[in-house]
Amino acid sequence: MTKDSFFDTNVIINYGKFTKNTKLEIIKKCYEYIWHKKGKFMICYFLEQEIKKVIKKNKIIHKEIIEKIKNPSYELGSSIESSLLKSKDLAYAKKIYEIKKQTSLEILSVSFLEDEMYLEMSIEHFLKTKVDEIVIPIEKIDDSIINKIHEIIPNHADCKILASALQLQEEKDIFLFVTVDGQDFNPNAYEYLKEHFRLNGPKVK
């Protein structure tokens, strides 16, 4: 029996990055999973908000890199806008800067803009044509579940998305939680969640 799918943010972002020239296997797998759709696709309202945040952060990273190329003494992450970026975002920005620092500023600016537009259009297409159901309003996410999950998962956004999935599981047949986050959603974390939330238990009637 085909199961429905509930998505984490990173899968959708990877899907949005896919092009015919993509070499990263994880991006290919995310694209193929969504393209060869089976069952219903579900997301939570909080995930919509997270996607907008990721898109915004992506633009800020590009601006930081451009500024660094204009002025090599500029410190990545020193702008007010870049306060939204985490340490891993700044590490990524530094990595891309090292790769792109010899590229023409004009060419790089156009390339970044095209990447941003493509990502937004791809994700918009996913939301409009692939998603069957948006569930669990943000204000309805159970704080007690969030806090319990936060004991094993440090990322608060991930906690909210997973809490939404757990709440939904109480009223639906078993579905797949689709993620590529092997750090937070590892086997030990799954065992913890199964113990505390009866993941494979019967849904509430």
Q: Please tell me what DSSP assigns to residue 136.
A: S
- pLDDT bracket for residue 174 (50, 70, 90): confident
Q: Sheet of 5-7: strands edge to edge?
A: 133-135, 41-44, 5-7, 176-178
Amino acid 71 reads: N
- pLDDT, averaged across the chain: 89
Q: C-alpha distances in angstroms, 13 versus 30, 48, 144?
A: 9, 11, 28
Average pLDDT estimate for 183-193: 48
109-144 per-position pLDDT tens digit: 999 999 999 999 999 999 999 999 999 999 999 999
- pLDDT bracket for residue 80 (50, 70, 90): very high
A 10 A CB-CB count for 101 gives: 12
pLDDT surpasses 90 at 82: yes
Residue 84, SS3? Answer: helix
pLDDT surpasses 90 at 75: yes
